[in-house]
Structure 1
């Protein structure tokens, strides 16, 4: 059947390439439709339309020719749309295919969400120009000669700064606010206090003490307040002081801009972002949009959606906006192929609610304000859904039927051979590829890099079956922290924010664990690198994973609470395995892996079903009770300087059960994308054994300073302040327990062990503030 389909499609494309042929013979398989930027009299060209006419024309043609494949050819050029092209089931009937593509492959077709501006510039002051502009809407992005400009901001844009291209603690200080005459309409962008994504606020007014009145801050689903330092303010006229900065005064109907010294401003093409989306395929599970392919088209200049990113994704850290430059919502067998998504303010491609067989392949996605490709189902498909980390429900209230409740989610969809980079330029809780409330999503042969958070993220266990394979993911978690190049959360029906309650719940009812994570997620044959977290991070209850044949270049591999994870035949360079706070009877397995440092466990009492037959740099890196059959030595990598970490014949690693796998299949496969893709930075290999942490005895407890990202992550800390209680004897003051983080004794903050010893010498009875189960509590 597949061969017949491909032959008929190819035949239709060949016929449609001959203008007039399909028009004269209406019984041919393919009907040709042509689109240009201007309206054309229908008598001259019966099947020639302007883009605004296209949806109605397709509806008419589909009724007249129900069985034909309709190929819509766009003549070269940029189309500035006044409204999105919305295609519904009326435009498709499940019989004929509809293909959108350029007429001439040598000429770029751009569908723009922006509006071109005709401006009469005149000098204002300090090298700034102004022009009269009366638009019925505000806009957040401005392009000059197709290059994104910088909205007036403090601190000024700095391409070398790690966070937000420049951030400052005093961005919204009263002293600074005093210098602004009309800050209403400005924006504050800030990282989450724990660097778990970001927040965005619109300034609505100023208080008498020069603090700001603001709305927003709902863009992160773990509400803990904005970061003290990593923040900046924009859209303030008084901050317009650097080249390429702009400000639009809507009330005064004036656009201000400071050009660079080399720009010929009066000849420049100026575009303001307008529409948040360009093409929307909108159907339903009962009546989907079918068999639409969009091929080789560029999408650009969509409006940012950061103030509309407010829908929470279950108990993950995410909120979302259900839209993008291209939206698939209620589709079957639709494809986005070979398209370019450049300089868009929100998500590039969003696959929402019911979708079956959607394919996004061969695309070049870069400079997006939001995520690259998102597959996100509807919460009505989730049984017993909860929407915030600390929410819980009693066992009697939990729906115990496995799997989804409805069909309103992406299933059997594919992201293949896409080049994705510099996404999340505005929003920081984003990913190159995001998966939530979906089943059997394949993410393969993608190259993803230069992103503020994860390259690939799975938000929860609903409902698994995903294949993550042959991807090259690096330069990740660049602006945030406590995350992974590949990241996942569990937090499914069995999850409870109180760990002791959850321990007893899953011990008594282990069948709860896979009610949502019904199918195994597979991570294989990927190369991951993270410099501010873990290369692979299975966090907070991520369950039912098989992870094998992956290369971890820098950050190691972490498994936090969860069940049924088998990790085997991976190579972990300049790092190791990070098991965090495991359950009893987790059934986890870690075997046949090459690690290059001692394990880095935190809060581990139980070691799963099998932790053995691994290969270490030296025997001193192996610590009982694990790895009774593991070996150590030089793994004898074939060519590590060039990224070949296969081991040579004779390597002792082979005797542990490790098996070589290909080092040449990571990332995009099309030559055109390979030519422009950045190469992953390879590590200089180091021999590591890892020194044991220094423990201090305090009133019979074993305590230590917070020293590593792993300890911060395990405790849910936003900084290294506090004292980690490794073990606590019965009767320790005020009921301090093992695993607590001591933050305050009496009225004295406790930043480290020295602070605690000094304070406790004089204060024997004062109340103690601790962090327990990632919640601050006071013990008296």
Structure 2
């Protein structure tokens, strides 16, 4: 028998086996809160636990559906799927909620309590048994650990912050602070830090452990911080404190004491395989996932040279899987991440899920640093050229690839940790992030931590209300601190010039960002930072923050619309290969230290002749035009241009304005709408003559009368007409009659220029203002938040 005939027989037999496998009858198993694991698992005699159902499925062939009947299932440990639970192609198992019934998977324990009077509105209960008290839910309402300052949802950072958290007076007021937690923003607002109090080293000094949650170590912010878990701070409704030594739970005015829950575990489901023996073809669908422990003190692992550290876990952890999916689940106030793909994963999917009030990120993809060639793990580290592995791409296959995040609603994220994202991607390849709606988040909606290894597709997402508690970031953010990158710019310039082959060793596959709608009011709509390379960015609607390209290579940006903003090229390389063409900008470019303008910057539409001439002065935009883009209906979010628009003459092509974000009807009914901006008139810098700003009423300097009255050298500046009591301007010390001339070292001629500059820097905690008062120039620091 020749080899070709043998091969034909083998292929035929495989085809017959596959056809037989896919034709196996489907089977159903039932689980119910009132069931028994001694039952057969039928609809009439259901099992009691998912573990029993999982074990039963192992001996079954064909497609299997495990239906969970309505109710709450309290897990004392995660349900773990291993390689022994893998399913053949066409024989997937789906664990799902029975149609029309609500199923909650809870990582909490139900704690029996008997409330007794304590002091005033505070009641207490002695707890029998050993429980972890990290979060507390009473009547399904999440309460706050007793904290200083008290929680206020209207306050920007942490729901309340105070500079005097570590003051001697406060520390002296706490008798036993051990077990308390300090949460603080990074000094530059590049994420956050968390510390556990281990005791006092004196009456006015705390002993702390922690502070490793950020990969750019600069210490905690002087102002944005709070402390929790102190009995002395139990002074507001819905606060609680647990005294472990006496096993006493204290709660301020518990409104509903029928059900007291406290989370006990970090993960609800774990998929535990390897690249060699993956977990295959298991799906989870239709559950509410709730009540997991916070993980902020476990967020320790640095993600290469990005600003992140990470905890490899979530309510659902997938490590070593193929074709596993999480669908139509509601991640409700989980303590850490929602879904975490760690190391080897192929064909994974998260779709039609709702993530709200998560402690950290919604969905994370993080590969193995061992798969990275010549990795560096901190911003200031770099591998010398002569010791660098110069082979392109990954070293192993131990990373996520060909996975999809589709049609998910994500909001209220980062309620504990602030270095978070709706979707975080690190050391991964070919991840698709499509049709998600992401908003109300302290940092980026979508973050790519470094260039390893690209190939991602970011499309049709709706991302807004981002960077709410941090700074220097965007609705989409990326870093590219890959092998060629060096923290000393001069060395990096010389290395990239001498060895251009290094540039795409890690970022070998193009990342595509297309057909998204982004809005960031505290940074950039699209922020490519620190060496981000090999991107194609097109057909995106940017509603406020514009687009930034910091040092990097091979970026093509075309056919985008930037409302009320523009293009921000920062510190470009020589021979970057960058392209910026056929875009609509509504303000002048805002370059910083750009000496060579890439491969092509041309055929763009500017708002007016001065903006166009400013660009041409830099040697760009020889064929660009200026004028009204003629948007169809911007008040309703339609920024397509009408026939006759000058943008069309430049080659701009309209793209759809009604395909952003989630597609599921049920999720759409729950989602907030993106706030649409009022378009500013870019043709007249003095068209707006008065504004409200930081609690003050401001207007343009107007004529010789103002110049004389305020002792000004010319007719430029912004007059402070009124200052509201307790406003940010009032707290800074500004008064009616002050005339602002400079904001953060940039001259201010009118309110339009002030708002333009503020739009670029409002992510900062504060700024310096120079102003005339009593015919003399003064300076003050003004808080922005």
The answer to whether the superposition gives a TM-score over 0.5 is: yes
Give the equivalent residue in structure 2 for 1:85. Answer: 79
Q: CA offset at residue 42 of structure 1? A: 2.6
Q: Give the one of 353, 366, 387 matched to 2:356.
A: 366
Mapping of residues 394-409 of structure 1, within 5 Å: 394-409=384-399
1:327-406 mapped onto 2 (5 Å cutoff): 327-406=317-396
1:639 corresponding residue in structure 2:
633
Residue number among 92, 95, 100 corresponding to 1:100 in the alignment: 95
* Corresponding residue SS for 1:271: strand
Residue 240 of structure 1: aligned partner: 234
1:696 is matched with none
CA distance in 2, matches of 1:137, 1:227: 33
Distance in 2 separating the partners of 1:710 and 1:471 = 28
Q: 1:31 Cα deviation (Å)?
A: 2.3
- Structure 1 distance, partners of 2:323, 2:298, is 29
What count of residue pairs does the alignment treat as equivalent?
686
Q: Are 2:213 and 2:308, in contact at CA under 8 Å, matched by a contact in 1?
A: yes
1:212 is displaced (CA, Å) by 1.0
**Aligned equivalent of 1:181, options 160, 175, 180:** 175
> How far, CA to CA, are the matches of 1:276 and 1:523 in structure 2?
33
Match of 2:665 in 1: 671
**Cα contact 1:332–1:355 (8 A) shared by 2:** yes
SS at match of 2:164: coil
Q: CA deviation at 1:259?
A: 2.1
- Aligned counterpart in structure 1 of residue 259 of structure 2, from 257, 269, 290: 269
**Distance in structure 1 (CA, Å) of the matches to 2:195 and 2:361:** 19
Task: Decide whether aligned partners of structure 1 residues 151 and 480 sit closer, same or farther in structure 2, where only a CA change above 3 A counts.
Answer: same
Partner of 1:494: 484
Whether 1:35 and 2:25 are equivalent positions in the alignment is no
Partner secondary structure for residue 423 of structure 2:
strand
In structure 1, runs of 5+ residues without a counterpart are 13-26, 692-702, 724-752, 756-780
Which residue in 2 is equivalent to 1:410? 400
Q: Match for 1:318 among 293, 308, 320? A: 308
Deviation at 1:281, TM superposition (A): 0.8
Match of 2:588 in 1: 598
The alpha carbon displacement at 1:59 in A equals: 3.7
Q: Secondary structure at the match of 2:170?
A: helix
- 2-structure distance, mates of 1:636, 1:304: 50
Task: Decide whether the 8 Å contact of 2:743 with 2:769 is kept in 1.
Answer: no
Distance 1:102 1:717, change over 3 A: closer
Is 1:228 the counterpart of 2:222 in the alignment? Answer: yes
1:414-446 Cα shifts (integer Å, max 9, x gaps)? 000000001100000000111000000000000
TM-score for both structures, normalised by structure 1 = 0.84
Distance across 2 between alignment mates of 1:713 and 1:315: 25
Query: Residues 189 and 764 of structure 2 are in contact (CA less than 8 Å); yes or no, is this contact kept in structure 1?
Result: no
| Change in CA separation of 1:242 and 1:722 when aligned onto 2, cut-off 3 Å | closer
Structural mapping, 1:56-135, within 5 Å: 57-62=53-58, 64-65=59-60, 67-95=61-89, 96-103=91-98, 105-135=99-129
Aligned to 1:139: 133
Change (3 A) 1:140 1:45: closer
Closer, same or farther: CA 408–162 of 1 in aligned 2, 3 Å: same
Question: CA 1:91/1:51 → structure 2, altered by over 3 Å: closer, same or farther?
Answer: farther
In structure 2, C-alpha distance between the alignment counterparts of 1:245 and 1:476, rounded to whole Å:
28
Q: Which whole-Å CA distance do the structure 2 matches of 1:438 and 1:161 have between them? A: 36
Task: Pick which of 240-249 and 680-689 moved more.
Answer: 680-689
Q: Distance in 2 between matches of 1:328 and 1:626?
A: 48
SS in 1 for 2:465: strand
Distance 1:134 1:498 in 2: 58
Kept in 2, the 8 Å contact 1:219–1:310? The answer is: yes
Match of 1:529 among 519, 528, 535: 519
Counterpart selection for 1:688 from 682, 690, 693: 682
TM-score in terms of structure 2 length: 0.84
Shift of 1:461: 0.2
Deviation string, structure 1 residues 44-78 (Cα, Å, up to 9, x no partner): 657966555x435534542x33x322211111001
Call closer, same or farther: CA 1:121–1:158 in 2, change over 3 Å.
same
Q: CA RMSD in A?
A: 2.6
Q: Distance in 2 between matches of 1:681 and 1:718?
A: 23
Alignment of 1:539-558 (within 5 A): 539-558=529-548
Structure 1 residues 626 and 43, CA gap change in structure 2 (3 angstroms)? closer
Secondary structure of 2:635's aligned partner: helix
Distance 1:177 1:717 in 2: 29
In the TM superposition, residue 628 of structure 1 has moved relative to its aligned partner by 1.1
Deviation at 1:717, TM superposition (A): 9.2
Q: Distance in 1 between matches of 2:137 and 2:745?
A: 46
Query: Is this contact kept in 1: 2:373–2:394, CA < 8 A?
Result: yes
Give structure 1 regions of 4+ aligned residues with deviation exceeding 6 angstroms. 708-714, 716-719
Distance verdict in 2 for CA 1:590–1:431, change over 3 Å: same
Counterpart CA distance in 2 for 1:499 and 1:719 is: 27
- Mean Cα displacement is larger for which, 275-284 or 28-37? 28-37
- Does the alignment pair 1:162 with 2:152? no
Residues 498/131 of structure 1: CA separation in 2 closer, same or farther (3 Å cut): same
1:578 aligns with 2:568: yes
Q: Contact between 2:181 and 2:227, CA under 8 Å: does it hold in 1?
A: yes
Kindly indicate whether the alpha-carbon contact (under 8 Å) linking 2:24 and 2:63 is maintained by their aligned counterparts in 1: no
Which residue in 1 is equivalent to 2:709?
A: none
CA–CA separation in structure 2 for the residues paired with 1:515 and 1:277 = 36
* Deviation sequence 1:553-612 (CA, Å, 0-9, x none): 001100000000000000001111000000000010000000000001111111111111
Equivalent in the alignment of 1:740: none
Alignment equivalent of 2:646, drawn from 644, 649, 652: 652
3-state DSSP of counterpart to 2:536: strand
Alignment-derived partner of residue 698 in structure 2:
none
Q: Are residues 1:436 and 2:426 paired?
A: yes
Partner of 2:243: 249
* SS in structure 1 at match of 2:202: coil
Aligned equivalents of 1:207, 1:526: Cα separation in 2: 52
The answer to whether the 8 A contact 2:743-2:768 is kept is: no
Contact 1:712 1:719 in 2 (8 A): no
- The alpha-carbon distance between structure 1 residues 87 and 478, as it changes in their structure 2 partners (threshold 3 A), is same
Asked if residue 617 in structure 1 is aligned to residue 603 in structure 2, the reply is: no
Kept after mapping to 1: 8 A contact 2:29/2:41 = no
Shift of the alpha carbon at 1:41?
6.0
